[in-house]
Amino acid sequence: MRGNRATEEKVTIVAYSGYRGEETPREFIPHGNKVEVVEIVSAWIEQGTGYKPIKRFFEVKGNDGFIHKIHYDEDKKEWFYEAEPRR
């Protein structure tokens, strides 16, 4: 899913802040449905250059059985959900 820009929307995230202050998603609420994160499948950072902000991406497996892609925009201080979950 990397490099493939799906539609993204703001999403409410419940996150755990580790000892370094970096947040890891624990649950999120896309379209009004709460999804608990059961596994972080992958995580990576896109470094900002020029006008582009730093974004922290996560592919997570939800308790719904789907893999979801979400990211945190360091500049906007907001979480986004990239639609089109997959199995």
**Residue 63 contacts residue 44 (beta carbons within 8 Å):** no
Q: Residue 2: its pLDDT value, please?
A: 47
Is 32 among the domain residues? yes
**Residue 46 contacts residue 55 (beta carbons within 8 Å):** yes
Q: Residue 20: its pLDDT value, please?
A: 58
Residue bearing tokens 């409410």: 12
Q: Residue 66: its pLDDT value, please?
A: 94
Is 66 among the domain residues? yes
Is 3 among the domain residues? no
Q: Residue 16: its pLDDT value, please?
A: 79
Q: Residue 4: its pLDDT value, please?
A: 47
Is 16 among the domain residues? yes
Is 2 among the domain residues? no
- Residue ranges in the chain modelled with pLDDT below 70: 1-6, 18-22, 83
pTM of the model: 0.79
Q: Residue 70: its pLDDT value, please?
A: 94
User: Domain range holding 29?
Assistant: 8-86
